[in-house]
Amino acid sequence: MGREKEKEKLSEKALNLLRSRLSDPNFIFRPLSDSPDSNYSKLKFIISTSVTEACNNSILLLGPRGSGKVAVLELVLSDLLQQYPEAISVIRLNGLLHSDDNCALKEIARQLCMEHQLLFSKVASFDDNSQFMIAMLRECGLAHKTIIFVLDEFDFFAQGKQRLLYSLLDAMQSVNSQAVVIGVSCRLKLLSDERFKELIDTYLSFNFTIGHLVRFLFQAVSYMDLSAGFLSLGNFKTALSSNQRQPKLECIRDCSVLELYMMVCMKRLEVKEQASYNFYSVMTEYKSIHDSFQTSDYYAANVCLRAFEHLLQCQLISFIDNKGHNQSVEFRPVKLLISSAELHQGLKSYQQCPAILLKLMDR
Amino acid sequence: MATEESPQVTRRATRSYSASNTAIESTNPPESYKPTINDLGFRQQPLRLEDLFSSFPGRRSQILELLRLLGPLNSPMFPILVYGGPSTGKTSVTLQVFRHLNRPFIYSSCITCYSPRILFESILNQLFHRKDSGHSYSSLKRCERPSDFVNYLREALENVITNLKGNSGKVSSKMSGRPDGTMVYLVFDNLECVRDWDKSSTILPFLFNLNDILKMPEVGLIFISNTSPDTYYLNIGYAEPIPLYFPDYTEDDLRHIFMANQTNSRLYASFLDVVLRPFCRVTRQVDELAAAFSSLFKKYSEPLSDKEVAPNEEMKRRLFSHIRPHIASALNETFQVRSQPLLKAETNQETKKTNSSRMPGVREDFDKIDFHMSTSAKYLLISAFLASRNPATLDASLFDSTGVSDSHKRKRKASEKSMDQKEMAEQELLMKGPGTFPLERLLAIFQCITSLAEDSLDEEESHELTVEGGSRGLMSDVLLQLSSLCNANFIIKGGSCPLEGSTRYRTAVSEDLALKVARSLKFPLSKYLYRR
């Protein structure tokens, strides 16, 4: 008994170690960054030269999500902070949060204050904050300190009027400052925008994604059997199957027989090339099926309405337009969100599917 | 908006019908209650794994998977998305798993927190442990924007985690009722509601990317949703959370669920044999079935004098033949929402949760209308129904001053072409739905109908002298009644027509309800309906 417990504890520790390593992007990308050609080295070279030579610079990191852009950047920054502890100050902004330039300037001011132990006032206005930023840039320029602006989700800053970008880049040009602007984005269409070609000095692209792989590994590792203490092939297979789910089929399998009837009616209406249909046309079709085939599954309108609403909730059907809010549910036109092949497959895999439905689908 | 864990848990317990754990007590906090870090845990008796499995029949593999993904103590995790149909036990299982693990968590539901600001403030309040008995509804910090939220959240989480780390060095938490470990979990329930209030789609990407933005490995995120992950398609892409699927219960599972906590299990088993299969063809959601079964079981056990007896074959057959006619009618009814509010309060809650209240009129399936309406409101409803159903050109012929006109009953035989046209027109009527009408038309029809009613009333009770001021009294109420009907969704107010400049209205009641209302007034509605 004691040995079992001990073994479990050890395997728990191993599991914890694996999980923490897999969830930590720094750990994953460090060994990949050692070669001289890698993005890590290029980035490190660019930033360190701007620090030592006291010049401005701008870099854009592009690549799909999960390809390690921010991870590599963080690695570079942590290394540089160790190398030049007094000469670098980092400001981090995120496009999801700070795309509004009021917010962004407030955040810049707040981070600058935190970094230099100044008191941050929450009621400072936009002008106050922007003057503060320019003043700080000037001071840091005089002190030979480089400010690195990291703009995550750069595409949010780049849409709209781009006031923040222009004010930042303006500030960098006007005062004698040392600043590096690093944009990180996963939307590749930025490359085609002409304005950025002028503003940004360097593009680095990250090409391979390992985000999905890491997630898969995490799942497989989590399924590890603690009593045995080893990973097995079965763990990987379970993780793989959970990633290969087909959600619409699962939804169909969860439907009741009445809901299947309604979907088949809608399919038939589509086949008959009715441009749009709503709940009442589906009910007429349902009634005609019942009349011609004498099925035992014929239910009243309110029960069918409830089934209809359940289908709406599962997003197997949806309203055609979003503006019909002054019509009740029964009259708004709907459309099916699954193809007939998917419906067919779902019906086949349904336990105890009434044969009539399959026959109707085959016609 | 401060929330606390224990009263929430009691509410959850009453919501889950009979499958809940019997050992749930409701604790009332004393007046001067200062919540501490211990409130982040479940604060009730810890739950063993076997109890967890037995209280959720059919969910064994999901519970195991959730436990595996959460991992051992203090192990970082990827965000998880728990999804499945309604009333499949997602929220209850998640909460009870946290009770079993005794780990600190913050729960917020996107139904009660219906805007970003309320959501953010609710989470921050729970983290800053704020509930002042005097100001229990004020928030600690005002937080509207995601950027502020992230800053406050980081601060609060760091506080909490240092506290937890301090605690973990001390006495074992099982004895002192403290939650385990140094990780904090955030649970976001009903995530699909965010789609509706997130018109500019900033909140959903923000929530899904929260893990990357925070960059704190001591925080775990769990999302619970009624819809599958592919309905959250976002065009910026996001790190997908690990999905965990809760399928609907199979018939065997349903049987286990309904059999739990029944006093006479043999009797109930024979009842289930009879009703479970036919009802499962209509719906497999537990809350809908529970509502239907509870009333049906009462009818089933009616002929039995002794409710404790275990039925033998012959008794089963008798009971079956007694219940059989009721099953067919019960299948065609949705929730029996009786007007006994206290008794059926729980059923009502479930009704409102799973069914939207967009069509109140249709739910009532009785012969009489179950709610009270004043006479003028009833007449107004009927006039609105007629105005929506009939084209405006017919009004003159239908409502002339001499009363009902029979002119729309044509005596000629319908030709083939006109039959086809009739069918097409009916189709169109079905597709388009009820038409809109301006206020003046509604009032005109109302005036005609009520004057007719007054006349017929006069004929019947000609010896009464008190009917005189009736019609003038009715008119003054009308506009007030109209706005109440609009609020009750019987009449929908549409946008104003740009040509005429007046608002147009549309009825939202079904023909059944209109007929019932007319019947209660003894008004011959069918004579006035076009094409009937």
**How does the average pLDDT of chain A come out, rounded?**
83
Domain boundary among B335, B358, B382: B335
Q: Is the pLDDT of residue B186 over 80?
A: yes
* Contact partners, residue A252, CB within 8 Å, separation at least 6: A260, A263, A316, A338, A342, A343, A346, A347, A350
Find which of A15, A280, A306 to mutate to test the B interface (most B CBs within 10 Å of its CB): A306
Q: Does B516 share its domain with B389?
A: yes
Highest mean pLDDT of the ranges A103-112, B30-39, B344-353? A103-112
* Contact partners, residue B518, CB within 8 Å, separation at least 6: B382, B524, B525
More confident residue, A192 or B306: B306
Q: Is the pLDDT of residue A23 over 60?
A: yes
Find which of B68, B88, B353, B424 to mutate to test the A interface (most A CBs within 10 Å of its CB): B68
* Confidence at residue B473, expressed as pLDDT on a 0 to 100 scale: 52
Question: Which residue intervals of B169-202 are DSSP H helices?
Answer: 173-176, 192-197
Mean pLDDT to the nearest integer, B295-324: 79
More confident residue, B177 or B398: B398
Q: Is the pLDDT of residue B396 over 70?
A: yes
- For residue B68, the chain A residues in CB contact (below 8 A) are 222-223
* Residue A96 backbone dihedrals phi, psi, to 5 degrees: -70, -30
Q: Is the pLDDT of residue A170 over 50?
A: yes
* Confidence at residue B39, expressed as pLDDT on a 0 to 100 scale: 67
Q: A196 pLDDT band (50/70/90 cuts)?
A: low
Nearest-Cα distance to chain A for B83, in Å, is 10
Distance CA A297, CA B282 (A): 9
Q: Strand B503-507 to strand B491-496: parallel, antiparallel, or no bridges (unpaired)? A: antiparallel
Interface contact flag, A15 B75, Cβ < 8 Å: yes
> Is B197 among the domain residues?
yes
> Is B231 among the domain residues?
yes
Q: Does B300 share its domain with B241?
A: no
Of A347, A194, A213, A332, which Cα lies nearest the Cα of A276?
A332
Residue B433 one-letter amino acid: G
CATH of the domain at B373: 1.10.10
Residue of B nearest to A322 (CA): B196
- For residue A256, the chain B residues in CB contact (below 8 A) are 280-284
Interface contact flag, A16 B71, Cβ < 8 Å: yes
Residue B484 one-letter amino acid: S
Q: B341 pLDDT band (50/70/90 cuts)?
A: very low
Mean pLDDT to the nearest integer, A159-178: 81
Q: Is the pLDDT of residue B209 over 70?
A: yes
A55-64, B53-62, B329-338, range with the lowest pLDDT: B329-338
Q: How far is CA A126 from CA A94, A129, A133, B499, in A?
A: 18, 5, 11, 46
Interface contact flag, A219 B237, Cβ < 8 Å: no
pLDDT in tens, A255-298: 888 888 899 988 888 888 877 788 888 888 888 888 888 777 78
Distance CA A124, CA B14 (A): 49
* Confidence at residue B284, expressed as pLDDT on a 0 to 100 scale: 84
Q: Would you state the structure tokens that stand for residue A142, as one six-digit string?
A: 């005089």
Mean pLDDT to the nearest integer, B207-215: 88
Q: Which helix (H) or strand (E) holds B252?
A: helix B251-259
* Contact partners, residue B261, CB within 8 Å, separation at least 6: B18, B19, B22
More confident residue, A202 or B447: B447
Number of domains in chain B: 3
Helix B265-282 with B313-331: angle, nearest 10 deg = 30
Interface contact flag, B72 A12, Cβ < 8 Å: yes
Q: B468 pLDDT band (50/70/90 cuts)?
A: very low
Q: Is the CB of residue A333 less than 8 Å away from at least one CB of chain B?
A: yes
Considering only the beta carbons, identify the residue of B69, B238, B365 that sits closest to A302. B365
Q: Does B228 share its domain with B328?
A: no
Rounded percentage of chain B residues whose pLDDT exceeds 70: 70
* Contact partners, residue B315, CB within 8 Å, separation at least 6: B304, B309
Beta-carbon neighbour count of residue A234 at 10 Å?
11
Q: Would you state the structure tokens that stand for residue A118, as one six-digit string?
A: 């100044």
Q: Does B264 share its domain with B196?
A: no
* Contact partners, residue B399, CB within 8 Å, separation at least 6: B444, B445, B448, B449
Contact B3, B69 (CB under 8 A): no
Considering only the beta carbons, identify the residue of B217, B229, B245 that sits closest to A23. B217
> Is B22 among the domain residues?
no
Distance CA B22, CA B28 (A): 18
* Confidence at residue B315, expressed as pLDDT on a 0 to 100 scale: 81
Interface contact flag, A313 B228, Cβ < 8 Å: no
> Is B241 among the domain residues?
yes
Interface contact flag, B146 A96, Cβ < 8 Å: yes
Q: B342 pLDDT band (50/70/90 cuts)?
A: very low
What part of A 278-307 touches B (C-beta under 8 Å)? 278, 280-281, 284, 297, 299-303, 305-307
Contact B436, B504 (CB under 8 A): yes
Interface contact flag, A218 B237, Cβ < 8 Å: no
Q: Does B68 share its domain with B159?
A: yes
* Contact partners, residue B209, CB within 8 Å, separation at least 6: A96, B238, B239
Residue of B nearest to A324 (CA): B494
Contact B337, B347 (CB under 8 A): yes
Q: Does B160 share its domain with B275?
A: no
Find which of B80, B282, B510 to mutate to test the A interface (most A CBs within 10 Å of its CB): B282
Residue B501 backbone zone (phi > 0: left; psi -120 to 50: alpha; other: beta): left
Q: How far is CA B338 from CA B21, B335, B345, in A?
A: 29, 9, 10
Interface contact flag, B247 A303, Cβ < 8 Å: no
pLDDT in tens, B2-14: 334 444 444 444 4
Helix B375-389 with B439-460: angle, nearest 10 deg = 130
ipTM of the complex: 0.88
* Contact partners, residue B54, CB within 8 Å, separation at least 6: none
Interface contact flag, B333 A330, Cβ < 8 Å: no
Q: Strand A334-336 to strand A317-319: parallel, antiparallel, or no bridges (unpaired)? A: antiparallel
Contact A153, A94 (CB under 8 A): yes
Helix A211-222 with A233-243: angle, nearest 10 deg = 130
* Confidence at residue B189, expressed as pLDDT on a 0 to 100 scale: 93
> Is B356 among the domain residues?
no
Domain boundary among B245, B264, B280: B245
Domain boundary among B245, B266, B297: B245
Interface contact flag, B213 A12, Cβ < 8 Å: no
Burial class (CB in 10 A: 0-12, 13-18, 19+), A286: buried
Interface contact flag, B228 A251, Cβ < 8 Å: yes
* Confidence at residue A206, expressed as pLDDT on a 0 to 100 scale: 74
Helix A39-53 with A69-83: angle, nearest 10 deg = 40
Mean pLDDT to the nearest integer, B153-170: 83
Q: B139 pLDDT band (50/70/90 cuts)?
A: low
Q: Does B89 share its domain with B184?
A: yes
Q: Does B104 share its domain with B183?
A: yes
Find which of B49, B64, B75, B510 to mutate to test the A interface (most A CBs within 10 Å of its CB): B75
Q: What CA dihedral angle connects B153, B155, B158 and B159, to 10 degrees?
A: -110
Nearest-Cα distance to chain A for B513, in Å, is 12
A136-145, B136-145, B310-319, range with the lowest pLDDT: B136-145
Interface contact flag, B238 A65, Cβ < 8 Å: yes
* Confidence at residue B362, expressed as pLDDT on a 0 to 100 scale: 38
Q: A325 pLDDT band (50/70/90 cuts)?
A: low
* Contact partners, residue B408, CB within 8 Å, separation at least 6: B394, B397, B398, B530
Q: Is the pLDDT of residue B109 over 60?
A: yes
A101-105, A126-130, B159-163, B415-419, range with the lowest pLDDT: B415-419
DSSP B307-326: TTPPP-HHHHHHHHHHHHHH
More confident residue, B112 or A186: B112
Domain enclosing residue B500, as ranges: 369-398+430-453+473-531
Q: Is the CB of residue A275 less than 8 Å away from at least one CB of chain B?
A: no
Question: Which residue intervals of chain A are DSSP H helices?
Answer: 2-23, 25-29, 39-53, 69-83, 95-98, 101-115, 126-142, 154-158, 163-174, 194-199, 211-222, 233-243, 247-254, 257-271, 279-293, 301-313, 340-348, 355-362
Please tell me whether residue A92 adopts helix, strand or coil conformation: strand
- For residue B197, the chain A residues in CB contact (below 8 A) are none
More confident residue, B357 or B407: B407
Residue of B nearest to A8 (CA): B72
Secondary structure, 3-state, B334-403: CCCCCCCCCCCHHHHHHHHHHCCCCCHHHHCCCCCCCCCCCHHHHHHHHHHHHHHHCCHHHHHHHCCCCC
Please tell me whether residue B255 adopts helix, strand or coil conformation: helix
Q: What CA dihedral angle connects B225, B226, B229 and B233, to 10 degrees?
A: -90
Q: Is the pLDDT of residue B290 over 50?
A: yes
Q: B359 pLDDT band (50/70/90 cuts)?
A: very low
* Confidence at residue B493, expressed as pLDDT on a 0 to 100 scale: 81
The partner residues of B504 in beta bridges, in order of sequence, read B438
B/e letters for B485-513, b = 16+ CB within 10 Å, e = fewer, are: beeeebbbbeeeeeeeeeebbbbbbbeeb
Residue of B nearest to A152 (CA): B213
Q: B81 pLDDT band (50/70/90 cuts)?
A: very high
* Confidence at residue B250, expressed as pLDDT on a 0 to 100 scale: 86
Beta-carbon neighbour count of residue A244 at 10 Å?
7
Q: Does B225 share its domain with B261?
A: no
Nearest-Cα distance to chain B for A362, in Å, is 22
A344-358, B77-91, B467-481, range with the lowest pLDDT: B467-481
* A146-152 β-sheet, strand order: A88-94, A146-152, A179-185, A57-62, A202-205
Q: Is the CB of residue A5 less than 8 Å away from at least one CB of chain B?
A: no
CATH of the domain at B105: 3.40.50.300
> Is B184 among the domain residues?
yes
Q: Is the pLDDT of residue B130 over 70?
A: no
Q: Is the CB of residue A79 less than 8 Å away from at least one CB of chain B?
A: no
Q: Does B276 share its domain with B199?
A: no
* Confidence at residue B224, expressed as pLDDT on a 0 to 100 scale: 94
Please tell me whether residue A60 adopts helix, strand or coil conformation: strand
Beta-carbon neighbour count of residue A269 at 10 Å?
18
- For residue B89, the chain A residues in CB contact (below 8 A) are none
Q: Which helix (H) or strand (E) holds B217?
A: none
Nearest-Cα distance to chain B for A333, in Å, is 8
Mean pLDDT to the nearest integer, A52-56: 84
Interface contact flag, A242 B243, Cβ < 8 Å: yes
Q: Is the pLDDT of residue B15 over 60?
A: no
* Confidence at residue B185, expressed as pLDDT on a 0 to 100 scale: 92
Residue of A nearest to B428 (CA): A281
Of A108, A90, A88, A178, which Cα lies nearest the Cα of A137?
A178
Q: Is the pLDDT of residue A62 over 80?
A: yes
More confident residue, B22 or B375: B375
> Is B466 among the domain residues?
no
Nearest-Cα distance to chain B for A218, in Å, is 8
Beta-carbon neighbour count of residue A116 at 10 Å?
12
B/e letters for A213-228, b = 16+ CB within 10 Å, e = fewer, are: ebbbbbbbbbbbeeee
Interface contact flag, B247 A97, Cβ < 8 Å: no
Q: Does B217 share its domain with B183?
A: yes
Rounded percentage of chain A residues whose pLDDT exceeds 70: 94
Rounded percentage of chain B residues whose pLDDT exceeds 90: 8
pTM: 0.80
Q: Is the CB of residue A186 less than 8 Å away from at least one CB of chain B?
A: yes
Interface contact flag, A303 B213, Cβ < 8 Å: no
Nearest-Cα distance to chain B for A294, in Å, is 16
Q: Which helix (H) or strand (E) holds B131?
A: none
* Residue B504 backbone dihedrals phi, psi, to 5 degrees: -115, 150
Q: Does B90 share its domain with B214?
A: yes
- For residue A222, the chain B residues in CB contact (below 8 A) are 68-69, 71
> Is B301 among the domain residues?
yes
Nearest-Cα distance to chain A for B284, in Å, is 6
